[in-house]
């Protein structure tokens, strides 16, 4: 019963509050006026005449002239006379300055414990040993061009690992592992 009384109220409110009652008409777009082109004169502008100049030069004061230059340049200065070389005194060579002994600069790098150093060196030695055996086996085989290229990469990684051992042990281990993986892959593909 209560719902029936409220329904007409809601209906009246919804119809009365529609946006059509409060809507403003859209503003029409008004384009800007076209630009006005400047008017260009057909004839050039007239230039006013300059002031009259008196042609009587005798009345005007004469400017002072600079001092005239001499007609002949001054005589050149003779070069200094050469002296005869004096008897050469025996020269003593300065003693070389020996820098004081300096301790070598510390190497920058990762600090390892003794166990880590042993482990990395062991992994590096094992990988390089497997690579050397694989290269020896592959060298005796007849390789196609792709396999020869892989063998050259293995040798390059092996040399880089050996060179990097003193400077960066982690890089040397990674290079040796790459060479080892390539070598094992190459051995699997050989007939």
pTM of the model: 0.45
- The residue that leads in pLDDT, 62 or 146, is 146
Cβ-in-10-Å burial (0-12, 13-18, 19+) of 180 comes to buried
pLDDT per residue as tens digits for the range 5-22: 787 777 777 776 666 666
Residues 6+ apart with CB under 8 A from 186: 134, 138, 147, 150, 151, 154
pLDDT digits (tens, 9 = 90+) for 110-137: 788 889 999 999 999 999 999 999 999 9
Q: Please state, in angstroms and as integers, the Cα–Cα distance from residue 95 to each residue in 83, 98, 101, 122, 143, following that order.
A: 31, 9, 17, 50, 63
Q: Among 57-61, 101-105, 138-142, which stretch is predicted with the lowest mean pLDDT?
A: 57-61
Dist CA 151 CA 158 (whole Å): 11
Residue holding tokens 């790459």? 178
Count how many Cα atoms sit within 13 Å of the Cα of residue 65 in the half-sphere of its side chain.
Answer: 3
Residue 114 phi, psi dihedral angles, 5° rounding: -65, -35
């Amino acid at each position: 019963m209560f719902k029936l009384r409220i329904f007409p109220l809601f209906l009246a409110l919804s119809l009365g509050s529609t946006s059509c009652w409060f809507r403003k008409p859209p503003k029409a777009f008004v384009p800007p006026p076209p630009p006005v082109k400047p008017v260009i004169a057909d004839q050039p502008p007239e230039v006013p005449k300059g002031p009259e100049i008196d042609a009587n030069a005798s009345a005007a004061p004469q400017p002072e002239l600079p001092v005239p230059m001499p007609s002949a340049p001054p005589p050149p200065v003779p070069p200094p006379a050469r002296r005869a070389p004096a008897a050469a005194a025996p020269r003593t060579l300065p003693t070389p300055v020996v820098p004081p002994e300096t301790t070598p600069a510390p190497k920058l790098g990762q600090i390892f414990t003794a166990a880590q150093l042993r482990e990395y060196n062991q992994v590096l030695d094992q990988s390089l040993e497997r690579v050397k055996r694989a290269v020896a086996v592959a060298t005796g085989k007849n390789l196609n061009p792709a396999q020869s290229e892989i063998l050259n990469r293995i040798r390059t990684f092996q040399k880089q690992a050996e060179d990097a051992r003193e400077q960066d042990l982690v890089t040397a281990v990674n290079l040796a592992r790459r060479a080892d993986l390539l070598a094992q892959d190459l051995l699997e593909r050989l007939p």
